[in-house]
Amino acid sequence: MDKSLITVTSPLLPDLDDFHAMLKEIWAGKWITNNGSFHKRLEKELAAYLKVPFISLFTNGTLPLITALQALRITGEVITTPYSFVATTHALWWNGITPVFVDIDPSTGNMDPDKIEAAITPRTTAIMPVHVYGKPCDTVRIQEIADKYGLKVIYDAAHAFGVEVNGESILNAGDMSTLSFHATKVYNTIEGGALVMHDEQTKKRIDYLKNFALPMR
């Protein structure tokens, strides 16, 4: 590698021999698509490590955002933040939802809860904040506002792998949270992502629809 190159980040990679041994197992089993044994093991071990009840794996961190919106049947307008990777807004736009931007608190980089209520209209159905750089949003305030107006909350937690507040995983806040396992993230699968949900019924529904590629609505 060119030593004069200053990289923004460098991915954590496993020992190549360990990785090769796992590949050998996959080659032997010839199960290289949905729900193989490594897939199931990763879901189980990640859920335990992240202290969340249920998790569903995806091929990146954008698809769980799109899927969460569909699974919760979100329509109309969604309040989100302009300070994020473009996938947050793309997921709304690709679902035919109008993104409504609420400015950030400059001290955290996260959506400013004081500005949310002014952005709510009769068409608002959800709030989609981002835990920017893994710094937790004010989930208590956001939930209070969501409950007051009957809104769903989906957290884009792409940067928030393993983040806890008072011993509780930040991924348990809101209705669902999404993760990215892209090579630039704290934990990576080269490309990958996940959706975190609170109940088994929702996990079953998402896994079924995801694997059989049926429309979610």
Ligand X SMILES: Cc1ncc(COP(=O)(O)O)c(C=O)c1O
Interacting residue with ligand X among 66, 102, 137, 158 (CB under 6 A)? 158
- Return the structure tokens found at 90: 């793309």
Interacting residue with ligand X among 47, 54, 62, 78 (CB under 6 A)? 62
Residue 102 lies near ligand X (rule: CB under 6 A): no
Residue nearest to ligand X (CB): 61
Cα-flanking dihedrals φ and ψ of residue 54, to 5°? -140, 145
Residue 80 lies near ligand X (rule: CB under 6 A): no
The residue among 130, 132, 100 whose CA lies nearest residue 117 is 100
Q: CB within 8 A of 57, min separation 6: which ones?
A: 39, 42, 43, 192, 193, 194
Contact assessment for residue 159 and residue 133, using Cβ atoms and an 8 Å cutoff: yes
For ligand X, the closer CB: 135 or 205? 135
Interacting residue with ligand X among 46, 87, 160, 171 (CB under 6 A)? 87
Helices and strands in the chain, H and E counts: 6, 9
Residue 130 lies near ligand X (rule: CB under 6 A): yes
User: What x/- string results for residues 163 through 182 when contact with ligand X is judged by CB under 6 A?
Assistant: -----------------x-x
Active site residue 185: yes
The span of 58-66, 68-76, 92-100, 168-176 binding ligand X (CB under 6 A) equals 58-66
Contact assessment for residue 185 and residue 38, using Cβ atoms and an 8 Å cutoff: no
Contact assessment for residue 170 and residue 161, using Cβ atoms and an 8 Å cutoff: no
Note the residues at the interface with ligand X (CB under 6 A).
60-62, 84-85, 87-88, 130, 156, 158-159, 180, 182, 193
